Amino acid sequence: MKHDDIELSAAGTGLVLRPSWGGRVVSLVQEALGDVLVPIVAEAFAPEAWPKGGAYPLVPFHNRVRFGHFDFVRSGQLPIHPESDPNALHGMGSRAVWRAGVIRSDHAELVWSHETSAAWPWTFQATQEFRLEPRRLTLTMRVTNRDTVDMPAGLGWHPYFSPSLKPRVEAKTIWPLDEHYLPRGHSEPAPVRLDRATAYLSDWQRVEFDNKRGKLVLTAEGLDHLVVHVPGASYACIEPVSHLAGALNEPWRRPGSLEGGMTRLAPGESITGQVALAFAQR
């Protein structure tokens, strides 16, 4: 076992976690489907040039924040990411060192405690709880405000699905994007078939994946939005998330409000989301 990896197994399904690499899933293999996620093979971790594989948490927000600056109770300046310049990209959780909590053969908890900083001026705790069954993986994510004032919060999960799995996405709503890949502030009915490499969707129920060996169904609770990013043939990112991209500071947001699915957490309050992957053999 390399690094600080945690290995879970349940009757033909194996999951490897790496807490120190941003609380990542390194691999997920299922006997009927093979590699469910593109496995991470890199030996070293670059926090700003992360591997295009596995899966990572999106906390305390997901996707882009225009110019990285926001004002809500307190002001923050998030670092600009080179892949989204001049904007911030994803939450800090994907770069952080997480620690292991409770671990069993088929169950593991990862924990990250953030202290107030210039980028995110609140103290909070985030957890990921992975439960593995022979034909099901369940991930429960939680962010808890440990500060003395209200905090904005969101979460999501960013998997890189194997190109052998062909996704079929069903959603009712799509959000047109601007040149920064941020929503323009209005929605439209989603097309029956997506005709673009990147799409921000809402009102979705499930995503089905198929290959010659089996079937995978992705569902979620508390994560009402979906980011689809399929830039080529190497992977498919299908990301359940709790809010619209840019909800911290977009022009369509009313001053002092949280819209687009972000949550205002009072001290001690939590936001929770759950992702489930169900496997079936042909």
Is residue 124, in this structure, part of any structural domain at all?
A: yes
- Find the distance separating the first CA and the last CA of the chain, reported in whole Å: 32
Please check the confidence at residue 195 and state whether its pLDDT lies above 70.
no
pLDDT (average), residues 256-278: 87
Residue 241: CATH number of its domain: 2.70.98.10
pTM: 0.94
Please check the confidence at residue 215 and state whether its pLDDT lies above 80.
yes
Q: What is the pLDDT of residues 53-112, one digit of tens each?
A: 999 999 999 999 989 898 888 999 999 988 888 998 889 999 999 999 999 999 999 999
Burial classification of residue 180, based on how many CB atoms lie within 10 Å of its CB (0-12 exposed, 13-18 middle, 19 or more buried): middle
pLDDT-derived band at 221, boundaries 50, 70, 90: very high
Provide the residue type at 37 as one letter.
Answer: L
Mean pLDDT of the chain: 91
Is residue 12, in this structure, part of any structural domain at all?
A: yes
Is residue 156, in this structure, part of any structural domain at all?
A: yes
Cβ-proximal residues to 257 (8 Å cutoff; 6+ apart), any chain: none
**pLDDT, position 253:** 53
Please check the confidence at residue 273 and state whether its pLDDT lies above 70.
yes
Please check the confidence at residue 251 and state whether its pLDDT lies above 60.
no
Is residue 134, in this structure, part of any structural domain at all?
A: yes
Give the residue with greater pLDDT, 48 vs 251.
48
Is residue 202, in this structure, part of any structural domain at all?
A: yes
pLDDT-derived band at 260, boundaries 50, 70, 90: confident
Is residue 1, in this structure, part of any structural domain at all?
A: no
Tokens of 170: 């069903």
Full domain range(s) for residue 223: 6-281
Is residue 208, in this structure, part of any structural domain at all?
A: yes
pLDDT-derived band at 254, boundaries 50, 70, 90: low
Give the residue with greater pLDDT, 195 vs 273.
273
Is residue 99, in this structure, part of any structural domain at all?
A: yes
Q: What is the pLDDT of residues 133-166, one digit of tens each?
A: 989 999 999 999 999 999 999 999 999 999 999 8
Please check the confidence at residue 258 and state whether its pLDDT lies above 60.
no
| The total number of structural domains that make up the chain | 1
pLDDT (average), residues 123-135: 97
pLDDT (average), residues 180-205: 86
